[in-house]
A and B are shown apart, each in its own frame.
Chain A
Amino acid sequence: AQTVTQSQPEMSVQEAETVTLSCTYDTSENNYYLFWYKQPPSRQMILVIRQEAYKQQNATENRFSVNFQKAAKSFSLKISDSQLGDTAMYFCAFIVQVNRDDKIIFGKGTRLHILP
């Protein structure tokens, strides 16, 4: 079975600091996509960043970057220069393949507090 594990239920950092959220996953497949979603208090699910498993280069979106270690099945999210608006639940997720019918599997989330 495919699973996603986020070992940090809750984290707090000071504004402007850098924070890393960890995620591990389990699959026997070789081709898949990985995602980080943000859920602020508004409850909206917002896609933060995606990574294709066949790409070795780590994805980057402005202040958000990932450390993708395929052999270790690890996919951590780094937020640089954190801002108050980054306060949210963050969910790690993956889907096995995009060229067949499948669904995204989510971890339980990490609640991130950015402190002023």
Chain B
Amino acid sequence: NAGVMQNPRHLVRRRGQEARLRCSPMKGHSHVYWYRQLPEEGLKFMVYLQKENIIDESGMPKERFSAEFPKEGPSILRIQQVVRGDSAAYFCASSPPVIYRGRTYGYTFGSGTRLTVV
């Protein structure tokens, strides 16, 4: 029973390039969350998705950032025209549907993707 899988683990991009971060949730989990962690900071919520649906994107920058969770395949966080300030660790977490969460509730996190913009 694999956990949340994120790839790549490390990603280096030059300014102006595009970064694509992938997240495969745990088996049976239909909800995906993306968080960003700047150096020496906590995790800041970015976006919450279900299959083919964005539930909450209140933490996403309005420009250059987008996220999707298609019917088939992993969730993708896409950053266009990256800048130095985008350098951070990006974490994906997953959870089961609301009705199944119960008392054991808590996200399962992936190991993160460290994005470095040079």
Contact = CB atoms under 8 A, between A and B. Distances in A.
Interface of A: 33, 35, 37, 42-45, 47, 50, 52, 91, 95, 98-101, 103-109
Nearest to B112: A43
Given A101-B56, A103-B48, A45 B103 contact: no
A42 B98 contact: no
Contacts of A33: 105-106
Contacts, number: 56
B2 to A, nearest CB: 14
Given A44-B111, A99-B98, A108 B105 contact: no
A42 B48 contact: no
B42 A42 contact: no
B33 A103 contact: yes
> What secondary structure prevails in chain A residues at the interface with B?
loop
Interface of B: 33, 35, 41-45, 48, 55-56, 89, 91, 93, 98-99, 101-103, 105-107, 109, 111-112, 114
Given A50-B106, A98-B101, A106-B44, 12 more contacts: A35-B106, A37-B109, A43-B114, A44-B109, A44-B112, A47-B106, A47-B107, A91-B43, A99-B98, A101-B55, A106-B42, A108-B41
A36 B107 CA distance: 12
B42 A101 contact: no
Contacts of A98: 98, 101-102, 105
